[in-house]
Structure formats: C-alpha cells, structure tokens
Structure 1
Amino acid sequence: MKDFLWIFIIIATVMVFSIFFFIRENPFNTTSFLSLEEKEMVAWQRARMQIDPDRTNHLETFKNMQKNLELLKNVNSRILIGAPPVKKKLLTIGISSVQHPRGSYLLDTLQSLFFASSSSEQKHFIVVVHLADPDPKWLGQMISSISTLFKPYIQARQLIVINTPLKSYLPLKDLKKNLHDSPAYVAFSSKQNMDYAFLMNFATNHSDYFLMIEDDVKCAPGFVTQIVTIVSAWENKSWLTLNFSQLGFTGKLFRTRDLPCLVHFLFLFYQEMPCDYLLAHFHDLLMQPTPIQFFPSLFQHMGNSSFFDGKFNSFKDKEIEENDPGSPSNPAASIYTSLKVANGSVLMNAYSLDKNFFYTKSAEAGSHLTVVLDVPAKVFRVQVLTGSHLKNKNQLEEGHVELGYDATNRINDCDDYILLGLLENGTLNKQVLSNESGKKVKCVRLLVTATPPSGIIIRHINLWIK
C-alpha cells in the first residue's frame, strides 16, 4: 500500500511540474485557450490535492465544480438596461453593486467615471454594472435612476446594466467557517465572489481588457489614457493583473482572455475567502506571485464604511496624488521639430518657463515638436498648453503627447515611444505612471494628428521630474 502511495505522489508531482512548465512556456498562446486552461486547472488542482493531505477536503468541492462549469456556460445574466456594443472595444469597466447599510455610492461612481474621461476616451470603453442584490424594490429604484441620469451613455451603448437570477448561484447556506469570520460575513463574501464571477463571465467577449472597480470610488481625471499608456508598454510582456489601486479589488486590470479561468477559480473557492485574497492565490497558480503595482493610484474610495456592516473603516489609498505638484522643473534639453518656424518665432520658447511662446503659421498631420532631455529623467507629470492664453485661438485641437525612451543612444530622437494622452481643448495635463523599475524618459513628443485650419501657438511644454 505504501509503495502504491509513493508511486501516486511521484506521478502527481510530475503532473504539477509539467503543467507549470507548459504555463511558463505558453502563458497565453494557444488556439483553444479556454478549454486548455480548464484542463490545466483541473489537472493542477487534482495533483495538488493528492499531494497535500490538508487540502483533500477540496476534492469533493472540486468534483462538484466540474459540473458547475458546464452549468456556467448556460447562465445568461439578464440585461436590464442598454445593449452590448456593435464592435469589440478596447476596455470593459466592470462594477458590481448591492445595497449598503449607509446608502449607495453607485450613481456617484458612474458620474465620476464618465466625467473623468473625455469623449474621445469614451469611444474605447464600455461600462457594465452588475446589480447583484435580489431585492426587487432596490433593483427598480436603481434601474429608474440610472436610466434617467445616464440616458446619453445608454443610448450610445456605453453603459449596460445586468442582473443574474439568484437560482444561478451556488449554495449560500451551511458554508465553511473561516477563521474568526461570522457566518453572516462568510455568506456575504461568498456571494460577492460569485457576483464578481458572473460580471466577468458576461464581460468576456466585449473587449480586449477588463478593469474591475468597486461601486464607491472616485476616478482620477484621464484614468483611461493613463491605463492605455501602461498597457501599451506592457503589451508584449507576460502578466496576469496590472494594479492601478491598492484598495481591495478596485483598479485591477485583466486581459479578457484570462477571465474564464478566473471565473472558474472564483466559483471553485467561493466560500474559502474574500475575492482579493483569492486573487493572490490565483496569481500563485499562474505564476505571477509579485503584484505589478503602479503609482499614483487612479481610484479613491468615497466613503469610510465597509461593504458589509456599515462600520467605520479607513479605506483611503495613501498613494493617490491629490496635492499640487508645485512648479515645473523643465531640465536642460534640446528641441527638434518638423513644423515650419514662423519668422521671428523662437523654437525654444515652447519649453521656456517664461511668458514667451512658439508660433507656426501652418502644420500638417504627422508633424511634431520633440523635447529631448540632455539627461534622461524620471518624469512624473507633463503639461502641454497650446493656443492664445487670452482668446483661446490657434489651439492644436487634434494632437497627442508621447513619451520616448532610448536604448540606442540617438542624438536627437528616441527609439521607443508610448502614448501619454490626447490633447483636450488644446491642452494636456497628465500624471505619468510607472512601477519602481520604470525606465527614465528621454523624449517628450507633441504630435499633430490632423491638419489644423490655421497656425498654432505652443505656449508651454512643462515637465515635473523626481
């Protein structure tokens, strides 16, 4: 009997290492990603449960989970408001909401979300709200309020509200007792895990990326562009989650192709622990144990009461930047441009800290003005101001700003640019996000994306450095 047990342990161990090797060598690169991920999870969990005697109590749950995975494919969350987009978007922003003892912040969160994003940014994302409370009175009130307050976004297919029938949920009675948590809290967190899972399940096919935020947050202005900037820099790197907040499940960005695997994981362990703790274990499973965190945070909690019992808690993110950054630094740099310099206009005035400005009589799409720093620096904020300060004339309406990095020691340019943000009413004022190992910026490029009808004034390109 002992010999058989040792043989079984060795086989199970080989299975674990072979699966880890497969995931490392082929993280998200298969033609049938979803089915393979399911098979990998099944094999991994079976092997782990057999090796670790303390986890054998999950075996029965795991067997039931395999049946529930098939049921999940037939679950259709009901659309209460709106309709899915006609074309696939870049980003889906997901919010799950239930009643709270001290009132709801959901409407304030939606208002902050849309007000903090420009019309051009809104073209690239949709918002999916999961009203996850079964109380029909509350559902009716929220449906009425959202339909009235956010009608333009609903008509533009930018906002969808869904609900999942309670009969689709796994059992919420006789749940496991976890540590010192009360039975009521275990039931609450278990249901919340499924609330999030149903939301992600609905969001899988509507965009390339999925951003989870909670229903009581304030969004930083231009948060969409800042996230897209980071995603463009990490596009070809291996990652499971990018974190734009340190608060719970808020600000967590996923590739939508990874969502089915996470949905299954949340259902498998829905009664084990709250979702943010489960996410940490999910990272271990798919070999991203270290969080990839970006600063400053883009989301801040509005209230100080917890989701569960209304008790006072400090839920403020200390890393979010709310203070005046002070005066710009504008370190020593050279300026290069393909714009036609008007007679008497000085190119360096675009970068000076005085009241002078640079003027060009005409500009064409594709032309640029590039600031090249003498010494690359950690830039944490960029401001670009175009047009007359008094009459708002000669603005560059169609343009964007890029950050450049250089690995080949070019003299007057960079070899790698990423988008920082689009000009809005001729201006840009953006924080620059980076993780602690982020590269230093060498170039800041203002690019004209559409030929303007007249000349343009570039008043200031201001940089703040650490």
Structure 2
Amino acid sequence: MVAWQRARMQTSFVRTSHLKTFKTMQRNSELLKNVSSRILIGALPMEKKLLTIGISSAWHPRGSSHLLDTLQSLFSASSPAERRHSIVLVQLADPDPRWLDEMISNISTLFKSYVQARQLVVITTPLNRYLPLKGLTKHFNDTPAYVVLRSKQNMNYAFLMNFATNHSDYFLTMEDDVKCAPGFVTQIASILSAWEREPWVTLEFCQLGFTGKLFRTRDLSGFVRFLLLFYQEMPCNNLLSHFRDILRQKKAIRFFPFLFQHMGKYSPFGGRFDMLKGEEFKENDTGSPSNPAATLYTDLNATDGSVLMNAYSLDESFFYTKEATAGSHLTVLLNIPAVVFRVQVLTGSELKKENQLEEGQVELGYDSTNRINDCDDYILLGLLINGILDKHVLSEESGKKVKCVRVVVTAPLPSGLIVRHINLWIKETEKYTQKPLEVLGVVRLESTEVTKH
C-alpha cells in the first residue's frame, strides 16, 4: 500500500489554492534565510520518502522526557517495509548541554540500527536563531512563563518543519510523549490513497495537542512562516486552526480510531490530557507473558528466605535483597534461546512504591561461543524509569535469538531492592513477521463540506 501510494504521488497530485495576500505576506522571511539547523545524529536518506515523522523535544518542567519511549513505540509499531518508506526526524530543542549530551548518547545507543539505516535523524537549531522571548504579547490571562514556553514551541516546530520540507511527500507532527498504534504508516497511506484528490490542508489522526497532524510537505513552508509571524499569539495547535481556515478548510478532518495516544497527563501546550481509550485508540495487545524455562544467576544476596526464582515467576511472589551495589546483576539464562519481542521488568513494592531500582538498565545477551552460565555479547535494551521497564525489542524482525536478559544496577541503592517480575514475550515461529492490519473501515469527519466513506 505504501509503495503504491508513493508511485501515485509521483505521477499525479492537485495543489491547494493559497490566498494571494497570504503568499505576498510570507514571500520573504529574513529569519529563515539565516536558519542553520544542524544534524547531531544520523544522515538524511538518499531518496525522497513518503512520510517524515517529525518530533520536537525538550526537557519538561513536570518531569523527565518520554522521547525514548516515543521512539521505541514508533519503530516497534512499524514493519521493516513501512520504515523503508518513512523517516523519523527528531529536533532536540533544549539548550541545556547536560540534557542534550544525555539524549544524544541514549538515542545513539538504543536506536543505532535505525540511525545506520538512515531511518532516524536528530537535529538541533542554535538558540541565537530564535526570535525574541522577552516582552511577549500576553493573551487569555496566560502567565508570562507559559507565553515564553508556547512561543518557543512555535519556533521549535517551525524550524523542524523548515528542515523537513524536501525529504518526503508528507509530514506528520508528533509530540515526544506518544504511543503509536501498530501499522500506523500503512493505515495513513491507505487513507491518503482515498483522499489524494480531495482539497485538504491537514488530516488528523489524533485529536489532542499537536500530535498526528498530517501535511503535504509542499504546504509546510507556508505554515512555517505562519508560525513565525504569529509565534507569540497562541499555541501552534490553535494557530493550525487559523491556518486551515485561511486555506479554506473550515473544519478538522479526523479519522477514527485514533492512531496515537499521549502517555503523559499534561500537554506541553498547557492543561491536562483526558486519556483516550477503547475505540478511540487502537492498542497493541501482546497478551500474557511467556516466560520460557530458564535459570537465574545473580551476585545479589537473597534476604529473609527470599528465593531468586521468584523474580521470574508469574505469580505474586518476589525476590528481595537488602543491599545492591553498582554493577550488581540479575540474569535470566533461557534454556533454549528464543526470539524475544517484549521485556518487562517491575521492581519495588507495588503498593508503597518503595525499594525500586531507580538507577538501572536492562540488557539482552546473545551467545556465539556456547557459554554455560552467561552470554558473550550484550546490547542495551533500555533504562528503568521509576523502577520499571516495559519495552518492545526493536530488532525483533531480524529473528536473532536472545539467550540472556540481564538487569544491571548502575548506582548504589539507599535501601533494599524488590524485583517483582521479569516478564518475557517470545515468538513461537522461527522468524518474526508482522501481520497486516485491516484497513480502516470507518471515517468520521468533523466537517460540513466533505463526506467520505
């Protein structure tokens, strides 16, 4: 479906009609002439793609960024064929060097294969290219701090979209705290095939915030200049409504069920999210964990009669140790190596949230030398956040079999450690293949001008 849509895009398309006054107003932009966004990680693809998925991320005042989890979801929810027709473009938009270095390191390590395949590119824009953030216009009783935040976010997305103008036929906006429905690229491509000749400015695959808004890339330059002209007036999702209206799309065109869901409770544009569940979002249910036969090894000392195997059991038992030092580990050694596609590690008391592994990581081990009690090659799967890791294995399509799953303590714990569950999901077939999803059968529109089935 994706390849078919790409071929059609190259042979036939209908341009939207821009207002002459708006084109004149935007014809020259001195700011964009001086923009010099630079690549931090990766390289752009050699050929034009169908879709660029653009994410702008910065440090969040309310807590740590979900960017790594969002990238995990993006790649695990798309098949190898879908990834060949898309590129993920991430803008790191926070000037703090410590945060920037940490994100560069984590992305380079966790998503190395996608960087090497030119499917993931990370950029940044120097702070001196931004418009003034002092003395900004205040509307709607907003606090000065919020006005600065939304104004900078408008410029973040403007610079991100400006960089993405020539690399694909379509551009999809994404915030950095999003979970994706499986096969979302194919589902978007199928909708594009039906809407190819229709007059639209944006199609929406998520209602909240600035996530899931699809543009034709030929319209991006207009919206970029619109954002920069009115960057201090209101958030970019509100500016998008006015931009659509100028280009004669009076109502939002939304498709259900939504393909994206916010993971956090708070929108970066202010206010809380009401989490969409049920038919509003297509969840990827992987069923119950498999936990195949395995042996566990550790250098941690069991406490109060605790049994090491409890950490791997599927009941409510757990493993407890009074002391854990940096470098300590708990390793699951599978009796028969298997294709693992999801790993979940739960630490700490479920009720009191105590004895969590606050600083730790999970690694996958492979073995080419038939070691008895260990593996000879480990790769980082992810970091524990609030004592928990729940990740899809991004390289599952390769069919490479995992022999070891290792939980590593990276800093001393102030108190004891509880490991409630190490859960594994495995593929029973020799090679992982993603089942095609049904094409969306129902399109619900919030438009009085267009009706489509």
For these two proteins, the number of residue pairs brought into alignment is: 291
Unaligned runs of 5+ residues in structure 1 are 1-25, 31-36, 46-64, 325-390, 398-423, 440-466
User: Equivalent residues in 2 for 1:49-448 (5 A)?
Assistant: 69-100=29-60, 101-307=62-268, 313-316=273-276, 319-322=280-283, 425=433, 427-430=435-438, 432-436=440-444, 437-439=451-453
> Contact 2:172–2:215 (CA<8 Å) still a contact in 1?
yes
Describe the superposition over 1:272-294 as per-residue Cα deviations: whole angstroms up to 9, x where unpaired: 00011100000111000111110
> 1:29 & 1:102 partners in 2: Cα distance?
41
> Contact 1:245–1:317 (CA<8 Å) still a contact in 2?
no
Describe the superposition over 1:97-153 as per-residue Cα deviations: whole angstroms up to 9, x where unpaired: 000131110000000000000001100000000000111111000000000000000
> 1:128 & 1:38 partners in 2: Cα distance?
30
TM-score of the superposed pair, with normalisation by structure 2: 0.60
> 2:136 & 2:277 partners in 1: Cα distance?
32
What is the aligned counterpart of 2:15 among 28, 48, 51?
28
How far residue 176 of structure 1 moved from its aligned partner, in angstroms, is 0.5
How far residue 233 of structure 1 moved from its aligned partner, in angstroms, is 0.8
Give the secondary-structure state (helix, strand or coil) at the position aligned to 1:428: coil
Q: Give the structure 1 partner of residue 322 of structure 2.
A: none
Give the secondary-structure state (helix, strand or coil) at the position aligned to 1:303: coil
Describe the superposition over 1:255-276 as per-residue Cα deviations: whole angstroms up to 9, x where unpaired: 0000000000000000000011
Unaligned runs of 5+ residues in structure 2 are 1-12, 286-427, 445-450
Give the secondary-structure state (helix, strand or coil) at the position aligned to 1:429: coil
How far residue 41 of structure 1 moved from its aligned partner, in angstroms, is 1.1
> 2:284 & 2:94 partners in 1: Cα distance?
37
Residue identity in the other structure for 2:105? S
> Contact 1:246–1:317 (CA<8 Å) still a contact in 2?
no
> 1:164 & 1:268 partners in 2: Cα distance?
18
> Contact 2:78–2:185 (CA<8 Å) still a contact in 1?
yes
Kindly tell me: are residues 305 and 151 of structure 1, through their superposed partners in 2, closer, same or farther at Cα, counting changes over 3 Å?
same
Give the secondary-structure state (helix, strand or coil) at the position aligned to 2:192: helix
Residue identity in the other structure for 1:76? S
Kindly tell me: are residues 229 and 143 of structure 1, through their superposed partners in 2, closer, same or farther at Cα, counting changes over 3 Å?
same
> Contact 2:70–2:177 (CA<8 Å) still a contact in 1?
yes
> 2:113 & 2:74 partners in 1: Cα distance?
14
> Contact 1:247–1:315 (CA<8 Å) still a contact in 2?
no
> 1:140 & 1:123 partners in 2: Cα distance?
28
> Contact 2:88–2:121 (CA<8 Å) still a contact in 1?
yes
Give the secondary-structure state (helix, strand or coil) at the position aligned to 1:160: strand
Kindly tell me: are residues 271 and 154 of structure 1, through their superposed partners in 2, closer, same or farther at Cα, counting changes over 3 Å?
same
How far residue 317 of structure 1 moved from its aligned partner, in angstroms, is 6.1
Residue identity in the other structure for 2:22? M
> 1:182 & 1:159 partners in 2: Cα distance?
36
> 1:83 & 1:204 partners in 2: Cα distance?
16
> Contact 1:247–1:317 (CA<8 Å) still a contact in 2?
no
Kindly tell me: are residues 323 and 208 of structure 1, through their superposed partners in 2, closer, same or farther at Cα, counting changes over 3 Å?
closer
How far residue 248 of structure 1 moved from its aligned partner, in angstroms, is 1.2
How far residue 316 of structure 1 moved from its aligned partner, in angstroms, is 3.5
Kindly tell me: are residues 29 and 273 of structure 1, through their superposed partners in 2, closer, same or farther at Cα, counting changes over 3 Å?
closer
Larger Rg: 1
1:41 maps to 2:22? yes
> Contact 1:82–1:159 (CA<8 Å) still a contact in 2?
yes
> 1:253 & 1:161 partners in 2: Cα distance?
20
Identify, as 1 or 2, the structure richer in helix. Answer: 1
Give the secondary-structure state (helix, strand or coil) at the position aligned to 2:436: strand
How far residue 323 of structure 1 moved from its aligned partner, in angstroms, is 9.6
> 1:121 & 1:288 partners in 2: Cα distance?
29
> 1:206 & 1:212 partners in 2: Cα distance?
15
How far residue 425 of structure 1 moved from its aligned partner, in angstroms, is 3.5
TM-score of the superposed pair, with normalisation by structure 1: 0.58
Residue identity in the other structure for 1:163? T
> Contact 1:133–1:139 (CA<8 Å) still a contact in 2?
yes
Kindly tell me: are residues 220 and 79 of structure 1, through their superposed partners in 2, closer, same or farther at Cα, counting changes over 3 Å?
same
How far residue 80 of structure 1 moved from its aligned partner, in angstroms, is 0.4
How big is the alpha-carbon RMSD for the aligned residues of Structure 1 and Structure 2? 2.6
> Contact 2:19–2:246 (CA<8 Å) still a contact in 1?
no
How far residue 71 of structure 1 moved from its aligned partner, in angstroms, is 3.1
